[in-house]
Structure formats: structure tokens, C-alpha cells
């Protein structure tokens, strides 16, 4: 059976309801699917929602709901929005689903068994809004580079040996010019990697919401490490038949989640697990207002 064409949007974070920026990515993928199907191709279009992380738990608390009730409600808002816009996706994955939990925990175990995951100590700044760690040198007036509030965290956690994959990533980018697009974004990734990659903290103390570390319920898996695996989980991996879809033909997303996560962390995770990399990863721009203000849930516009 020939491999089906597999394309994805990012999974959308459920700290708030959908906006036009999400619809832009959906529209691109929907048009791609329709075009290829008119040419006689079999296409699988994946989208979904990212439902773990500190920000979701805090948004649920602010709404007076449990995290599960909150994510059920907001996830359904995405489903309803896409129904009204007639986007013809084939699969909608939620990171609270058992298939996603199973894939995340299995990949974590594989990387730990291969020596790519180790226990260490993390102490530093954390941007809850972006769900990412921030170096002291990158703070601007006490805030993250995106202008978000940061908080100090000090924890014993598991780390992924991201630093080991700088040269392999650069080699793959050079040998596969279609891998990262457009060219300007590809050049940003190359520059980012050449600055030197640091090992990444990939767990947090368990707040009662998230995917537990296998064999260690005191910790949950970091939301970005967790979320990226959705693309693989939707193929049925690690069960038989996942190769019918993988490798993914194209990941589409907005530019803010391209360089650090989809173009660096995700391919490094796959390399570490000896799994094929996606064929193409594409970043598009933002909708903006006035003098270049970004459309954003966190900005409320």
C-alpha cells in the first residue's frame, strides 16, 4: 500500500478560544488537501488541541473549572469553529487522549534507554505564557523576549541531550534544502543552532495535570516535548501500521513555534529515537494590527 500524503497544523493551545491566526494555518492545509485530492492523491490532514501544561491548569482555575472540564469545553470550541468554516480535516487529536499519552511515554522511555535523557538540576526563569525556559541573558526589563512575565523555578528534573544534535541537524538541513521553508526562516534556524544548543529540561514537578513520567508520578513531561509527539501519535505509533503515514510530508505552523521547537527540538527528538524526520516544515507569518502588533490570545486581540 503506497504511503498517504500526511500534512498537519500545529495542535492549538487551549488556554483560550480559536482566533483568525489559527484559521489561517487551517485554511492553508485545507486548500492543500483539496488540491491534492483533486489530483487523485489520498491525503490525511491532522489538526487538534494541546491540552497540557501550567498555563492550561491556571486558565482552568481562573475559569472556576477543573482542567479536564476546561479542556473539553475549549477543545470543542475549536471543533465547532472548524465545522463552521468547513475545514475538511481527517483527524483531530487531543493531548489528553490515551493514544497520545501512550506515544509520549513510549518515546520518553526510548530516549531514556538510549542515554539521551538524564536526571539533572534546573534553576532559572520560566515563561508560563509561552511554556518555555528563559536564560537570564535573554530577559528584557525582567521579562521574556516576548514581553511575558517570568517566574523563578528550581527543580530536579529530566533533561534531553539536545546539545548532542547540533551537527547532525545542520548536516540534515544542508543535505535536504526542502526540509525547512521559507529560506529566511531556514537561515534563522541555522544561525540558532550554530550558537550552540543546550540540553533541555523536559519534565516539571507534577501539578496534578499532564502526562506523568513513566515510573515517576512525581513529575510530568514538559508540554513542548509532549505536544510535538502528537504528529507521531496520530499515525498509531508505536503500533503496527504507522509507516503508512510517517514520515509526515509537511508540518505547517506560524513562525513563533518554528525555530526552537519544530525545526530544532522535534527533529532532534526523532533523530535520538532513530525515527525518520518530516519531509518539510513550513512557517508562515502572523496577522498583525496597526504598527505591526501581533494577533495573539495572550494579548486579547
DSSP notation for 162-185? GGGGHHHHHHHHHH-TTSEESHHH
pLDDT digits (tens, 9 = 90+) for 152-207: 988 899 999 999 999 999 999 999 999 999 999 999 999 999 999 999 999 998 98
For residue 17, name the pLDDT band (cuts at 50, 70, 90).
confident
Please compute the mean of the pLDDT values over residues 124-142 and round it to a whole number.
84
Q: What is the pTM of this model?
A: 0.89
- The answer to whether 233 and 269 have CB atoms below 8 angstroms apart is no
Per DSSP, 85 falls in state: T
pLDDT digits (tens, 9 = 90+) for 63-121: 999 999 999 999 999 999 999 999 999 999 999 999 999 999 999 999 999 999 999 98
Average pLDDT, the chain: 93
Cell of 248: 509526515
The C-alpha atoms of residue 242 and residue 104 are separated, in whole angstroms, by: 15
Task: Say what the pLDDT of residue 293 is.
Answer: 55
The C-alpha atoms of residue 294 and residue 291 are separated, in whole angstroms, by: 9
Class of domain 5-294: alpha beta
The C-alpha atoms of residue 23 and residue 43 are separated, in whole angstroms, by: 20
Amino acid at each position: 500500500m503506497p504511503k498517504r500524503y500526511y500534512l498537519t497544523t500545529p495542535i492549538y493551545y487551549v488556554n483560550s478560544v480559536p482566533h483568525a491566526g489559527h484559521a489561517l494555518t487551517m485554511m492553508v492545509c485545507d486548500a492543500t488537501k483539496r488540491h491534492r485530492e483533486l489530483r487523485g492523491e489520498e491525503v490525511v490532514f491532522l489538526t487538534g488541541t494541546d491540552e497540557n501544561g501550567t498555563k492550561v491548569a491556571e486558565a482552568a482555575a481562573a475559569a472556576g473549572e477543573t482542567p479536564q472540564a476546561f479542556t473539553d469545553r475549549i477543545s470543542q470550541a475549536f471543533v465547532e469553529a472548524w465545522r463552521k468554516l468547513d475545514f475538511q480535516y481527517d483527524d483531530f487529536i487531543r493531548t489528553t487522549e490515551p493514544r497520545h499519552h501512550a506515544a509520549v511515554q513510549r518515546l520518553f522511555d526510548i530516549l531514556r534507554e538510549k542515554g539521551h535523557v538524564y536526571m539533572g538540576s534546573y534553576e532559572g526563569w520560566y515563561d508560563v505564557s509561552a511554556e518555555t525556559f528563559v536564560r537570564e541573558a535573554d530577559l528584557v526589563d525582567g521579562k521574556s523576549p516576548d514581553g511575558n512575565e517570568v517566574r523563578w523555578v528550581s527543580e530536579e528534573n529530566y533533561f534531553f541531550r539536545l546539545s548532542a544534535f547540533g551537527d547532525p541537524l545542520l548536516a540534515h538541513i544542508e543535505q535536504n534544502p526542502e526540509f525547512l521553508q521559507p529560506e529566511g526562516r531556514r537561515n534563522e534556524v541555522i544561525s540558532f543552532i550554530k550558537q550552540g544548543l543546550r540540553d533541555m529540561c523536559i519534565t516539571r514537578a507534577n501539578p496534578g495535570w499532564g502526562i506523568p513520567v513513566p515510573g515517576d508520578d512525581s513529575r510530568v513531561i514538559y508540554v513542548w516535548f509532549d505536544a510535538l509527539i502528537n504528529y507521531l501519535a496520530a499515525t498509531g505509533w508505536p503500533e503496527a501500521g504507522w509507516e503508512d503515514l510517517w514520515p509526515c510530508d509537511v508540518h505547517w505552523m506560524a513562525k513563533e513555534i518554528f525555530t526552537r521547537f519544530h525545526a530544532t527540538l522535534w527533529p532532534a527528538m526523532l533523530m535520538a529515537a532513530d525515527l525518520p524526520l518530516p519531509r518539510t516544515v513550513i512557517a508562515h507569518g502572523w496577522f498583525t494590527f496597526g504598527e505591526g502588533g501581533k494577533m495573539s490570545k495572550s494579548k486579547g486581540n
